[in-house]
Chain A
């Protein structure tokens, strides 16, 4: 079992084009990002700065924004879906 992370278009260059990545053995969103970094180097820097999640990145566990949960300490369960949603480009 694993959590499923949905990767937005601008980050798929780091995942070999994959729209979804499975992450094993992660208890929190923070663990998920650490595991992602191991498999897809560069991911952590795109998502986090020294204060936490970058202001323009929204991370959802299921349909909830982690800002309204426990932030990076938000717990994740096997089979849950995590979505990384960026800001919207032009037009």
Chain B
């Protein structure tokens, strides 16, 4: 039985999760293969606009419940953008102070959305990427630990727990034993770790495939090339059944195609996830095996629009 989202909600936090699965059927690779289905799980339907609402909500609620987060503390974390938006939204809804450290070259829409919710932003050196933001927030917290609550999305077990309790459960409720494959990208790795652990308890085989950029210098914003990055504490490379490398061009091209061919305007990491799902679908079609594949669509494409002319210069 599927529990539908109630029509009236007491608070915006309750609108997080229960995102729809939408079948992709117009991509040419998937036509004339009725037994191989690819579904996109539309995480941009979360109120903060991305999959990160789930982890942020769980980290905050778990910390409020056990007293790590109290009203006199400032929530501070490093983020490449979407987690920051989620913290800022939930912070506003619960009356919590939020400070975010992000690389200065985070896209302008995400900075503005986070600020609109009242969060204070600090910028780190763009040359150091998201690892530079991690180091900067650790220094701030080390200086005055009593002032801050530092969820540390890369190390916090509540991050994968959100997907264990939510994302994977929803997929199992919606598709049941039909589900054969699950695809998600690696950033903090929370989506992959938590969802896979739940899916492995389903009692039937589900192949869980992690998507990773194919080289250290890439344009798949939000995804981490683990071998060249600070590896998140929550990441266990043995959890996924397979790690599929994806090129920037493949991810970007699939994002463009999803907009034009399926009416889904999504970010580049979502394009990479769907590209990987289509590769799996092609393998199943070639073997004549029926399959039902779910790919996580992390956010909407408008978070990545290029800066306007008047935003063109950055101050280092």
Q: Specify which chain B residues have a CB less than 8 angstroms from the CB of A57 in the assembled complex.
A: 217, 219
Q: How close is B103's CB to chain A, nearest CB, in angstroms?
A: 5
Q: Which residues on B are within 8 Å of A, measured CB to CB?
A: 78-81, 83, 103, 105-106, 126-132, 134, 153-154, 185-189, 215-225, 228-229, 232, 248, 252, 309, 312-316
Interface 1/0s, chain A 7-31, versus B by CB < 8 A? 1111101000001000000000000
Measured as residues with beta carbon below 8 angstroms from the partner, the interface class of chain A is 20 to 34
- Is A73 on the interface with B (CB-CB < 8 A)? no
Q: For the complex, give the distance between the alpha carbons of A83 and B103 in Å.
A: 14
A window 39-58: CB within 8 A of B: 46, 54-58
Chain A residue with the shortest CB-CB distance to B52: A91
Cross-interface CB contact of B252 among A6, A11, A55, cutoff 8 Å: A55
Q: Specify which chain A residues have a CB less than 8 angstroms from the CB of B222 in the assembled complex.
A: 88-91
Q: How close is A5's CB to chain B, nearest CB, in angstroms?
A: 11
A6 adjacent to B219 (CB under 8 Å): no
Cross-interface CB contact of B130 among A7, A19, A55, A90, cutoff 8 Å: A90
Known: A68-B309, A91-B153. A86 touches B129 (CB 8 A): yes
- Is A65 on the interface with B (CB-CB < 8 A)? yes
Highest count of chain A CB atoms <10 Å: which of B78, B132, B219, B224? B219
Q: Specify which chain A residues have a CB less than 8 angstroms from the CB of B224 in the assembled complex.
A: 89-91
Listed by A's residue number, 26 A-B pairs whose Cβ atoms lie within 8 Å are A8-B217, A10-B215, A10-B218, A46-B217, A54-B219, A57-B217, A60-B314, A63-B315, A64-B313, A68-B312, A83-B127, A86-B219, A87-B218, A88-B130, A88-B222, A89-B129, A89-B187, A89-B221, A89-B225, A90-B80, A90-B222, A90-B223, A90-B224, A91-B80, A91-B222, A91-B232
